[in-house]
Structures are given as C-alpha cells and as structure tokens.
Structure 1
Amino acid sequence: MSALAGTGALVRLALRRERAVAPWWILLNVGMTLALISYIERQMPTDAVKATYTAVIAKNTFFQALGGGFVEPRLDVLATWRSGGFLYVAAAFAAVMCVVRHTRAEEDAGRAELLRAAGTGRRASLTAALLVAAGISVAGGLSATLTLVASGLGATGAAAYGAAIAVAGWVFAGVAAVAVQLSRSARTATMIGLSVLGVAYVMRYTGDATRQYWLKALSPIGWSHLVRPYQDERWWLLGLPAAVAAGLCVLAYALLDRRDLGAGLVPERLGPASAPGERGPVSVAWRLHRGLLVRWAAGVAVLAAAVAGAGTIAGQLAAAPAASQDLLRSMGWSTGDILDVLLRYMTLIFAHVIALYPVLMVQRLRSEETSGRAEIVLATPTTRLRWAGGHLVLAGLGSAALLAVAGVVHGVLHGLLVGDLATDPPRVLAGVLGHVPAVWCVGAVCVLAYGLLPRASVALSWTVWIMTAALGQVMGPLYGMWAGTPLEPFHYIPNTFAGGPVDARPYLVLFALTAALVTGGLLALRRRDLG
C-alpha cells in the first residue's frame, strides 16, 4: 500500500472539521485589514498628519518595532505596517494549531489508529494536515490581498502582503510537523510550536527595537516583514521561508518513518512513583498547570518590558511641537497628562491579554473531562465541586499573579525610562491589579458556559474573550470608540491614573457578578452528566 493512500479522503475530512475554525482566521484577516484602513483614514485624513505620525514613530525604535520596520506616510504602507505585525503571527499560530489538531491530537484520541486500520497510508495523515494548513494560510493571505485591492490600494503591494502572510503560515506548519514527531502528546507538540513562534517574534521585535537587524533576518516572522509590501516588494525573500518550510516538511517525513504510531522520538520523562505533596484538588491543579503558569509569567514579563520600552515615546510626545499635539488630540489623547494616559492604556492591554489565562484554564476543565482523567479523579472521594474548585482557585490566583508580574515589570521599567522610580512602580502595580475583578468576570462567564453547555463551552469561551477585546478600549479606537462599550467588564474599572478618589462600587459589583456566575456554573456541573 502506498504511504500516501487515503490522503484525499483525509483532506476532505480535515476540511469538514475546519469549517468551524478556518473561516474565523480568514475573517480575522479581512476584519483587521479593513479596521486599520478605516482607522488611518479617519484619524490621519491628510498627508501632513500622516507625515507627523510617521515622524513621531521614527523617533522611537521600540514603538516602531511593534509594526516591524520602517514606515512611510502613505495609507497603503501604514495599513500593512500596522496590521502585518499581528497577522503574520496569527497566520503562524493558526498553522501550528491546524497541524497538531489533525495529526498528534488524532493519535492521542485513538482515531488515527482506526484510520490506519481502514487502509490509509503512513504519511497520509501528516500530508493531509500540511495541505490543509497551507491552504488556510493561502486563503488568509488571499483574503487580505482582495481586501486591500477592494479598498482601492495597489494590487502589487497587496499581493506581496498576502504572500508574506501565507509563507509565515507555511513555515510554522513545518515547525508543527516536526514538533509532532518529537513529542508524545498534542499538548507538548503545541507547546513546542508556540515556543518557537514566541522566540521568533522576540527576535524580530528585538532586532527592530535595537536596530540589530541580523536578529530580524534570522527570525521566520522577520522574513515576512522584510518583504516590505508597498515599499520595495522584495519578492525574492519569499523563496527563503518557502524553502525552509519545504525542508522542515522533509525532516518531518523522515522522522515520521522512524517512530511508531502514538509514540514520540523524544521520550517523556517518567514522573515520581508517588506524590506525597498532593493533598487536595488545589495542589493537584497546581502540579498539573504550574508549567503553563510559569510560561505565562515569562511571556507577560517580556510583554511588559517591551511595552515599557515603547512607552519612551510618551516623553517625546509630551514635549512635541504643535503639529504633534494636534495629531494626539485628533486621536483622542489628552496631551496634558500623556504619561498617565499611556499608562492607563497599557494596563488595559495587559489586562485583556491576561484575561485569556482563566479562559484557557476553564477549557482545561473540559479537556480533563473529555480525556477521562476527571473520571479517574472523581472515582476517589473527591467531589465534582472540589475537583472543579481546585482548578478555579488556581485560575483566579494565577490571573492575579500574572497581573502583579506585569505591574511590577512595567512599573519599574517605566520609572527608570521616563517616569519616577520612587512613585511609579507602586501606582502602576495598583493600577494593573485593579483589573483583577474584570479578568475574573471574563473567566466566570466561561465557567457558566462550561457548566450549562459543555460541548459548546470551548467555542463560547473563545467568543467571550474575543468579544471582550473587540468591544473594549484596546480595540475600540480602531473603529472610533475610544472609551469602548459598556458591554464588557473592563469598561467599568476606574482609571486610577486620573487622580482623585476611587469609587469602590464597580469592584464590588464585578466581584458579586463573578461569584454568581461561578456558582451557577458549578451548580450546573453538579447536576449534569459528566462527559
């Protein structure tokens, strides 16, 4: 039997499963591209305003690095510069998740063994996953290209931009294919793929921020930025990520032929024979998830440090000439206290990012349930409420700890770079920790969804977090809503950087709402069938 036998059938199966996932990635490309074009046209209507904006960016390498590379005062360059820094990473993330979902996750669930028994070849599953991931990457790039052309921008630059998005997905589809062969579980393979993505992004950002461009040239994400759509369109650079992706696929096939189905080439370390320290649900949850929390803490610290570096632009803007002050006013900034305005905005970014942590922790509850591990735990005297409560306690305390990490790192670096080291760290820490009730409220909605609608809980959890970000003050400026909307919990958190007394009522209401939602979710979990 051919090693590729059944590939076509597996491709159709994967596409059928992706119909609930892939359209969202394509919609993200279209939505982000349209939103940034609209934002630039609305906030920078004239060439003079665009020129002022790009001049301000050019003076701060940390802020410039957020978009990646140099920017010119033109709508097409500004739009792709602003969205590219996000969409290249999004394409890579989608490719990693797609390949792992249709390969290692299938082996973990036992479905791959059934398919092999039905006459599919040894390489069919991996080939189907790579074809589907590559196709989704191309579809995402093509959707961005068509959106730019439909908005009246040049077709050549739009094609280069779409190709840069697609090749970012191809490279990390190859990374995921290799990770799948090395690891013995979907979770480990995902961790490897996303860790490589994180390192690639940090290298690209550091290269732009420090002007050590050799770091950017070594980063797979940096290759997409170096294509420079709407500037000089370096088409030849697309060959590098394509070649690397092909090489990674060849390596993945070679490794696949050397391992058994369900096994990984890198053996997993055996755990201890006993766990004397595991005396309850909280300690068990801590042992299961401490690695994830440590990785999150490291990522949050890097993000806080990068944002603090970008914050040096605030000091320059505070003393900017009249044209820059007019630009800031047109974009909704209060120029009299720009440092405090920026601190408020950055703490909201931290809070929205960290709000994803309790969402993922609640999804872990569903994963424990569907994998059968929860049933084993519940066969002991541990009740459902104690089991779930252990995970939720860790989710709540972990969220608060991550906010504290962001507050400490950002506060200290902000004080060193542009503020006052004596006063800034404590007030930044207090401002960041003030978002704990809103972060917990987002997680509480996910708990209710898990208790009432377990099969739809993962999709609902993602929807809750995405809508919270889309309707809030972080994404709101993209469509002219600088104050966000009252439909998300962060809208009600007082701005402690504005000075004056702080109203405690919003905090109390959010805590009460969180308690009610969690209680409802746990009661629903207690009454429904497990699984």
Structure 2
Amino acid sequence: MVLRAVAVSRTQEDGGRSELLRGTGVGPVGGLAASGLVLGMQCALLGVGAGTGLLALEGARPADALAYGAAVCGTCALLAAATMLLAQLTTDATGARGAGLAALGLLYAGHGVWAAERWSRAGAWSPFALRGAIDPGGADDWCPLLVAGAALLVLLAVAAAAARGRDLGVGLIRFGLRHRRPLRAGGPVTLALRLSRMQLLAWAVATAAVAGVLTAMGENMVELARRGAVEGGVLGSLLGGSDPGAGLLDYIGVLAGALACAQAVVLVGRFAAEERSELVEAERGTGSGSARLLSAWCLVSLLAAALTLGAAALVSGLVGAALLDTTAGDALRLVAGQWPSAAASAGVTALLGGLWPQARWLAWAPLLGRVA
C-alpha cells in the first residue's frame, strides 16, 4: 500500500496530471480525497480477500473472517494514510517512496520489538499491532478498530492541511534549497547515481535495520528449536532443519531479497517516469540514446541491490554470530545470495519497459509470487 499511495498521489503530480486536474477547479484537498477514496477501495478489497481466505480454514466462523478482514483493511489503510502524509512533506515521488518504505520498515521493526520484548513504546502504536489487538478467532474485539479509525481520520486531516499549505511539485519541507549546487554528471550512469543516491542509502539502512532486528528477535525461537521444542506449523517449517539459526537467516534473506527486488523494479521504472516528465528528451540532447539511458538505470539498480543485500548480510551476520551461533558464510550465502533474484527483477522490468511500457506493472508479479 505504500507504493500504491505514492502512485496515486505524488506520481500523478510529478507526471503533470494533478496540474490538469487543478485546471478544472479541483483543489488540493479534493485531489487528496479522490486518492484516498481509491486507496480505501483497494484496502477494502484486500480485507475482503483476506476474510474470504480465512473462511476456507476448518472451524473458521464468519465473525472471525469479518474481524480478520477488518484488521487487514485497517492496517493497510493506516499505512496508506501515513504514506500520503509523508508524500506531502517530500519533494517528489521518489522521496515519498523512500520515506514511506523507511516508515514501513520502522513500524514493522517496532512491532516486532514490542511482540518479542513487550516494549510498549516501541511498537504498540504500530498498524501491525491491529490484528493482534482485534484477535480474530479469539476475542474478536472491535474496540481497537475504532481507535484505528480515529487515527486514520487524524492522519488524513493532517495530510489535507499539509496539501493545502504547499504548491504543486514541491514538498512542505524543503531541504537544502539555499545551498543546492549544480548537478554535474559525466554520463547516464553517473546521473542516475546522483539522482538516486539518497534513496539507495535510505533503502540499504532500512533493510539492514529490519534484518538486524529480526535476527535478534529470533534468538529465543532458535534456542527452542535446537532443544526440539518447536515442531510443526510455520515455525517448524522455518526452523526444523539441521541448523535452526541458518533457517532463520534463510527466512530473513527471503525478506531482504524481496525488498531488493522491489528496489530494482522501482529504480528501473525511473526511466519511464523520466520519459513522462520529459527528462529523457533533455538527456537525449547530450547524445545518449534511450537504450543507453535504460541500461544506466539497470546498472544502478544492480548496484543498489548489491548495496542493500550487502548491508543486510553484514548486520544479520554480525548479530547472528553473536546470538544465533551462525557464521558469516551463512549470512553471505542466505542473505547476499538473493542478489540474482533482484537482477532478474531488474531485467524483467527493463524488458517490459522497452517492449510494452503499459504493462510495466507485470514486473511486480514475480515479486508478489515470491513473497506469497
């Protein structure tokens, strides 16, 4: 929902469509409300799908499915609203994606710390705590959903106020406008690196932080698995191998790999965004063809995936060696070894962007299948 929230808000604005909408008399709050309505319908569809899937389980009641669907819908809606608020603060869609994904990682990590250590200040306020608070199949408590609804209204109200207070194409918070230096680049690759360097750094730091937190959280589970106390279920399938510590790193590697694949898809997709904003036309004036420009973004995406997975492997390897008795080789093999999947995602996105630009969204299909 983070990427969808950016797509229906700042991406539309960067592409010039919001300016056309303003020309018809629709104000900033009206445009934000329309985006919120679209996201709300998508969240509702996700909730319906989740609730329907729960009904397929033996012993599940309609009330349990309704509570679970409401929890999924509420979680997605809160994440979307928070992203829309952050999108009003950043300068463009790229910054909004980075801020939204960083917030997503922090919220998820905070909820994990809260669940593992019961540090209420670390994550009880996270949207990911909503499902546990409602307790579908157990208490089916609807009161937390009312609190989530109130928080959703507050986020939307603040986002509307922020949208009213800024101009099109700029963020409410402007960084470094007085000291901005001319952007110098020796070629398409250098230009792509300079345009995305902060995103690369933020993505690597956020992924490494999530990997480190999840590795530390798994210490007790790995210890129980080594004693033979974990059998069957999801934990049993993850930690039931010969080395539970390596099994946990394998799971973390899959998550880090999914984030690296998403990063590759987003970066290669920047070429299409530049085409819509006419930046590609300016770059062609320097003698660089479309193939060279697209190849530059592909190369940057590969470097970014290597940086992200390398940082995650380094942190998970250090934490794993201290808490799980795993080796640096395990982290390198199971976490950094996800790089080929990110390279494949970049290749699929580039192929679709070159042959069938309208179907670039299909590049997300392998990633969704990987996560599922």
- Structure 2 letter corresponding to 1:116: R
Whether contact under 8 Å (2:215, 2:316) holds in the other structure is: yes
- Structure 1 letter corresponding to 2:362: L
Structure 2 counterpart of 1:350, from 245, 256, 259? 256
> 1:20-419 residue pairs with structure 2 within 5 A?
94=1, 96-120=2-26, 123-151=29-57, 152-270=59-177, 272-276=180-184, 278-312=185-219, 313-320=221-228, 324=230, 331=237, 335-419=241-325
Whether contact under 8 Å (1:359, 1:465) holds in the other structure is: no
Deviations 1:343-385 (A, max 9, x none): 4454444334423332222112222222211211111133444
229 and 187 in structure 1: CA distance in 2 versus 1, 3 angstrom threshold:
same
- Distance in 2 between residues matched to 1:325 and 1:246, nearest whole Å: 43
- Distance in 2 between residues matched to 1:396 and 1:252, nearest whole Å: 34
* Aligned Cα root-mean-square deviation (Å): 3.1
- Distance in 2 between residues matched to 1:345 and 1:121, nearest whole Å: 46
- Structure with higher Rg: it is 1
- Distance in 2 between residues matched to 1:190 and 1:341, nearest whole Å: 31
Aligned residue for 2:365? Answer: 463
SS at match of 1:218: coil
Shift of 1:306: 2.8
- Distance in 1 between residues matched to 2:93 and 2:296, nearest whole Å: 24
- Structure 2 letter corresponding to 1:191: G
154 and 122 in structure 1: CA distance in 2 versus 1, 3 angstrom threshold:
same
Shift of 1:99: 4.3
Shift of 1:242: 0.7
Whether contact under 8 Å (2:98, 2:203) holds in the other structure is: no
- Distance in 1 between residues matched to 2:106 and 2:281, nearest whole Å: 37
SS at match of 2:135: coil
Structure 1: state its 5+ residue gaps: 1-93, 476-531
Whether contact under 8 Å (2:46, 2:73) holds in the other structure is: yes
- Distance in 2 between residues matched to 1:184 and 1:150, nearest whole Å: 45
- Structure 1 letter corresponding to 2:214: V
Output the TM-score relative to the length of structure 1. Answer: 0.62
- Structure 1 letter corresponding to 2:256: F
SS at match of 2:287: coil
Structure 1, 239-248 or 167-176: larger mean CA deviation: 167-176
Output the TM-score relative to the length of structure 2. Answer: 0.85
- Distance in 2 between residues matched to 1:396 and 1:97, nearest whole Å: 20
SS at match of 2:182: coil
243 and 110 in structure 1: CA distance in 2 versus 1, 3 angstrom threshold:
same
- Aligned-pair identity in percent equals 28
- Distance in 2 between residues matched to 1:304 and 1:407, nearest whole Å: 8
Structure 2: state its 5+ residue gaps: none
Aligned residue for 1:47? Answer: none
Aligned residue for 1:444? Answer: 347
Aligned residue for 1:76? Answer: none
Structure 1, 388-397 or 344-353: larger mean CA deviation: 344-353
- Distance in 2 between residues matched to 1:319 and 1:346, nearest whole Å: 21
Shift of 1:335: 4.7
